[in-house]
Structure 1
Amino acid sequence: MSIQIYGIPNCGTVKKARAWLAQHGIETVFHDYKKTPITLEQLNVWEAGLGWEKLLKKTGTTWRTLPDELKAQLSRDKVLQLLHEHPNLIRRPIAVLPDGRVLAGFVESEYLTAFRPTGQNIGNSHV
């Protein structure tokens, strides 16, 4: 099972997610979207799985520098265009599972649920 991870390598959250996946023996393929830009088609797939609200990162400098008028009039299409033009606005990392499910950001409890093999409890063993 190979998980597609999209992000930028120097992002702290991306590093945490990749380390967590490696620690749990989950094979990944990393896509640096600074080197290979995300297409509008790919953004549409992610949006269909998550909704645009979960894709949009509102905590960074790029968001804060956008005009207030633009931020006040968001719609699905406007957000997808913004994400395409400003990839720093994409919540990181994006994980695409083999079954097509999409995760945005790194929340360990969500990863535990998403990557738990049938009959196993990832992260519940004590040393």
Structure 2
Amino acid sequence: MITVYGIKNCDTVKKSLKWFDAKGFEHKFHDFRVDGIDAKTIEGWLAEVGGKTLINKRGPSYRNLSDADKAVLENDDAAAAAILAVNPTVIKRPVVDFGTTRTVAYDEGRWSELAGA
């Protein structure tokens, strides 16, 4: 089962969910704000895709972090995971989990490849 992680009011997440619906791919939505996200899951994402890909530095959530937290996000994946678990809106969206592989951001081509379309 494909899991789409994000927040429900994010336009890119909405667009992603519509794409999966239109293609008929079975999926579920995991809302960071409603369902939360644990640091262990985020650690795995950081190990797989890296902080440069996973962390959204352009949004207001990142800008509102303390300078100390921003420094941790740059240098320490284990500690970064804890910060992101408390501030999940700093995570670039959507994160799409295909079971063995994760993607970050909107990527129809990669999703088609991974979902076997």
Question: Which whole-Å deviations, capped at 9, do the CAs of 1:91-127 have from their partners, x for residues lacking one?
Answer: 11111103x1001111233323333x2xxxx5xxxxx
- 1:14 maps to 2:28: no
Report the TM-score when normalising by structure 1.
0.79
Partner secondary structure for residue 34 of structure 1: helix
Q: Give the Å deviation of 1:68.
A: 4.0
Match of 2:37 in 1: 38
RMSD: 1.8
**5+ residue gaps, structure 2:** none
**1:82 maps to amino acid:** I
Q: Which has the larger radius of gyration?
A: 1
Partner secondary structure for residue 35 of structure 1: helix
Identity %: 30
Number of residue pairs the alignment of both structures matches: 115
Q: Give the Å deviation of 1:17.
A: 0.7
Match of 2:102 in 1: 102
Partner secondary structure for residue 34 of structure 2: coil
CA distance in 2, matches of 1:42, 1:11: 21
CA distance in 2, matches of 1:92, 1:8: 8
Match of 1:114 in 2: 114
Contact kept? 1:52, 1:80, Cα under 8 Å: no
Contact kept? 2:57, 2:90, Cα under 8 Å: yes
Q: Give the Å deviation of 1:72.
A: 4.5
**2:97 maps to amino acid:** V
